């Protein structure tokens, strides 16, 4: 980060459940719509990933880094006013990416470094599946409205799919 003062956030590649995560593109309406369809949501990350040819060994600029582990330049973090207090556990890294971009900063991943992430180990112990899903969607809706400026119709469609999926989750939970 010393070499490039414009880098606000730098993360390593993440090793998670046999996958290598190097960064994402910003979510967009269709990817968030897919994430609100139970059983199809797992494909959302494939929609947002960069192709392997994008990356070179070393530092690569991306829209979003994985939030489990990253470095932040304090000066940039201050300038973008730190984390948005309206989200909890989810979408923080997307919001940081949007805020960094708006202030002319870069978000990068260093493919020479790696960290193993034990996916949701601490979260699963403290939050039940349905509550975790609700927290995720609450942050997603906030992100879409405040940072992507999604219109009323788009928000309505996202929430419609969310409530259908939530109903299915409740049904499967009780069966």
| Residue whose structure tokens are 């112990």 | 125
pLDDT at 65: 96
**Domains: count for the chain:** 1
Q: Is residue 169 part of a domain?
A: yes
Please state whether 25 falls in left (phi above 0), alpha (psi between -120 and 50) or beta: beta
CA-nearest of 95, 88, 85 to 65 is 95
> How far apart (Å, rounded) are the C-alpha atoms in residues 53 and 129?
36
- What is the pairing mode between strands 71-72 and 106-116? unpaired
Count Cβ atoms below 10 Å from residue 68 Cβ, excluding itself: 17
In sequence order, the 6+-apart residues with CB closer than 8 A to the CB of 104 are 6
pLDDT at 150: 96
Q: Is residue 1 part of a domain?
A: no
Q: Is residue 2 part of a domain?
A: no
Higher pLDDT among residues 125 and 63, named by residue: 63
Give the range of the structural domain holding residue 60, as residue numbers without chain letter.
7-174
pLDDT at 80: 97
Q: Is the pLDDT at 63 greater than 70, yes or no? A: yes
pLDDT at 125: 54
Segment among 46-55, 57-66, 89-98, 163-172 with least mean pLDDT: 46-55
Tell me 9's DSSP state: E
Q: Is the pLDDT at 96 greater than 60, yes or no? A: yes
In sequence order, the 6+-apart residues with CB closer than 8 A to the CB of 43 are 34
Segment among 119-123, 134-138, 139-143 with least mean pLDDT: 119-123
Q: Are 10 and 108 in contact (CB under 8 A)?
A: yes
Q: What is the mean pLDDT of residues 60-65?
A: 96
Q: Tokens for 76?
A: 């940039």
In this prediction, residue 139 has a pLDDT band, given cuts at 50, 70 and 90, of very high
Q: What is the mean pLDDT of residues 101-117?
A: 95
pTM: 0.88
Q: Is the pLDDT at 124 greater than 60, yes or no? A: no
């Amino acid at each position: 980060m010393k070499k490039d003062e414009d880098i606000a956030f730098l993360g390593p590649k993440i090793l998670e459940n046999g996958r290598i995560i190097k960064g994402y593109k910003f979510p967009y309406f269709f990817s968030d719509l897919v994430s609100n369809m139970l059983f199809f949501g797992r494909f959302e990350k494939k929609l947002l990933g960069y192709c392997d040819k994008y990356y070179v060994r070393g530092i690569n600029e991306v829209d979003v880094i994985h939030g489990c582990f990253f470095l932040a330049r304090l000066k940039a973090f201050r300038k973008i006013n730190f984390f948005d207090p309206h989200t909890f556990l989810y979408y923080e890294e997307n919001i940081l990416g949007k805020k960094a971009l708006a202030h002319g900063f870069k978000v990068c991943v260093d493919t020479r470094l790696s960290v193993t992430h034990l996916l949701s180990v601490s979260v699963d112990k403290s939050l039940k599946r349905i509550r975790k899903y609700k927290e995720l969607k609450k942050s997603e809706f906030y992100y879409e409205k405040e940072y992507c400026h999604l219109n009323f119709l788009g928000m309505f469609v996202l929430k419609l799919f969310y409530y259908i999926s939530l109903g299915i989750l409740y049904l499967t939970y009780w069966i």
